[in-house]
Amino acid sequence: MRPIFVTAITATLLAAGAALAHSGVSNPAVKARMHAMMQIADSTKILGAMAKGEAAFDADEARAAAAAIAAHAASVPTLFMAEEHDPKSEALPVIWQEFDTFGQKSEALTLAAAEAAASIETEADLKPALARIGGTCKSCHQDFRKPQ
Ligand code: HEC
């Protein structure tokens, strides 16, 4: 399970790196929601690096990263509420047809990250927390974001 999971997270983060090329977005509302996603991705990367042993485990840093994810995730429904478009956006129109489901998936991330922020103490806590967080990214992206 774990190596597969770490691979999945790595793939998510590589996609995140590719997404960094998304400059030139002219719609400020789209820019703001992409920015929130990038912040979420940056904090997830911190957890991923620790989980893979690329960075030393630091409980305070891990909890802070999880708290940052939770804070940004909590703003996702508001950031996406208005149906805003941009040629560079990867958001699928179904977001606004199924906004309740979209909101629930944001909530799932907020909750997973908040619980991680409240519970990570040892290195052993990290991978299950990250797996849960990563699962919520995937669950939303597969329905609501253009395939990468
Ligand atoms: C509730 C749904 C939802 C959740 C949960 C979610 N995302 Fe996203 N994410 C989106 C949507 C929709 C877009 C496309 C936004 C756009 O391009 O307008 C996106 C875009 C992104 C981008 C690209 C940003 C850019 O600049 O183009 C990254 C990186 C990203 N998400 C990472 C993550 C990570 C990492 C997680 C989990 C820790 C996560 N997302 C959780 C819906 C979600």
76 lines ligand 1 (CB under 6 A): yes
Distance CA 46, CA 35 (A): 17
Q: Please report the pLDDT score of residue 12 as a whole number.
A: 59
With the C-alpha atoms ordered 84, 40, 26, 146, is the resulting torsion angle positive or negative? Answer: negative
CATH number at residue 138: 1.20.120.10
Q: Which residue has the higher pLDDT, 1 or 116?
A: 116
How do residues 18-65 score in pLDDT, each as one tens digit? 455 457 899 999 999 999 999 999 999 999 999 999 999 999 999 999
Residues 62, 126: contact at Cβ < 8 Å? yes
In the prediction, which pLDDT does 24 show? 86
* The pTM of the whole model exceeds 0.85: yes
Ligand 1 atom index nearest CA of 15 = 29
Q: Determine the residue of 25, 37, 100, 109 to mutate for testing ligand 1's pocket, defined as the one with the most ligand atoms within 8 A of the Cβ atom.
A: 37
Give the structural domain span for 12: 2-144
- The number of domains in the chain is 1
